[in-house]
Amino acid sequence: MLLRPLRSWASRALRRDRPRSPASSPGSLGAQRWAWPRDKDRENEKEKKSVICVEGNIASGKTTCLEFFSNTTDIEVLTEPVPKWRNVRGHNPLGLMYQDACRWGLTLQTYVQLTMLDQHTRPQTLPVRLMERSIHSARYVFVENLYRSGKMPEVDYVVLSEWFDWIVRNIDVSIDLIVYLQTTPETCYQRLKMRCREEEKVIPLEYLDAIHHLYEEWLIKGSLFPVAAPVLVIEADHDMEKMLELFEQNRHRILIPEDRKLGP
């Protein structure tokens, strides 16, 4: 007796719950898939906007570069979220990682990936966004170095890689230009000793050398991982005065898309 009403109810429920197109059904599964800022959703928004990432070794001059352009009209600057890495509800995963990378490498890099994803996806309010590093270098340089140096187990490396690959496939973390501040490890080491950040006191020259070679493999040789955008290389071993001159000389190549002729 109950079979016919039950079939009728099930048929109505299936018709009601059948997924429709995102445009016609804001609450459907299809619509939820497009909740992330994908390329098509942001196509018009990004037509007149660009995202530039300043990349380079530790103490290569990234902060100086960002400060130089920070007062320029129509530019928003996002510095690397180091304060967050130093204090996660009272814990300092950055300091812990430098003390014991084997134990804390996954912990730090998981949080780095999260905070860099937040940087990439927050609404852009001005025509140009200048970012210190990116989610790409977090994976291709720093996670890769932990794994290659034997300080990250393969299972941790695989899990982080799976997360990164999912992010790149499903979320818009695209960038328009990479400014690579190319320095020698020795120069970075001398600068590190001068600025005396607490966590960096334990960083040896060998670590800076490893980071340098991974940056070179990624951005110069192109033999390691995909390069997310055109690369503008600026030699950054110079003193402050010379570096400010170089930033000024490259202002248009960095900030104006039409002037980014990055060939030889």
Tell me the binding residues for ATP: 56-64, 191-195
Please work out, in degrees rounded to the nearest 5, the angle formed at the alpha carbon of residue 79 by the alpha carbons of 191 and 174.
120
Per-residue pLDDT of the chain (264 residues; tens, 9 = 90+): 434 443 444 444 434 343 333 333 333 333 333 334 455 555 555 456 899 999 999 999 999 999 999 989 999 999 999 999 999 999 999 999 999 999 999 999 999 999 999 999 999 999 999 999 999 999 999 999 999 999 999 999 999 999 999 999 999 999 999 999 999 999 999 999 888 777 777 899 999 999 999 999 999 998 879 999 999 999 999 999 999 999 999 999 999 876 655 554
Task: Choose the catalytic residue: 132, 198, 200, 217.
Answer: 132
Q: What is the structure's pLDDT at 200?
A: 78
Please work out, in degrees rounded to the nearest 5, the angle formed at the alpha carbon of residue 120 by the alpha carbons of 118 and 121.
65
Q: What is the structure's pLDDT at 82?
A: 95
Question: Residue 56's beta-bridge partner residues?
Answer: 181
Q: What is the structure's pLDDT at 193?
A: 87
Cα torsion at 23, 24, 30, 32 (round to 10°)?
Answer: 70
How far is 82 from 3, CA to CA, in rounded Å? 63
Its pTM stands at: 0.80
Q: What is the structure's pLDDT at 182?
A: 98
Q: 132 an active-site residue? A: yes
How far is 134 from 152, CA to CA, in rounded Å? 21
DSSP codes joined into one string, 147-184: HHTT-S-HHHHHHHHHHHHHHHHHS----SEEEEEE--
Q: What is the structure's pLDDT at 150?
A: 97
Superfamily (CATH) of domain 48-256: P-loop containing nucleotide triphosphate hydrolases (3.40.50.300)
Cα torsion at 33, 36, 39, 40 (round to 10°)?
Answer: 60
What are the residue ranges spanned by the domains of the chain? Answer: 48-256
Q: What is the structure's pLDDT at 92?
A: 96
SS3 state of residue 213? helix
Q: What is the structure's pLDDT at 202?
A: 80
Q: What is the structure's pLDDT at 35?
A: 38
Q: What is the structure's pLDDT at 5?
A: 40
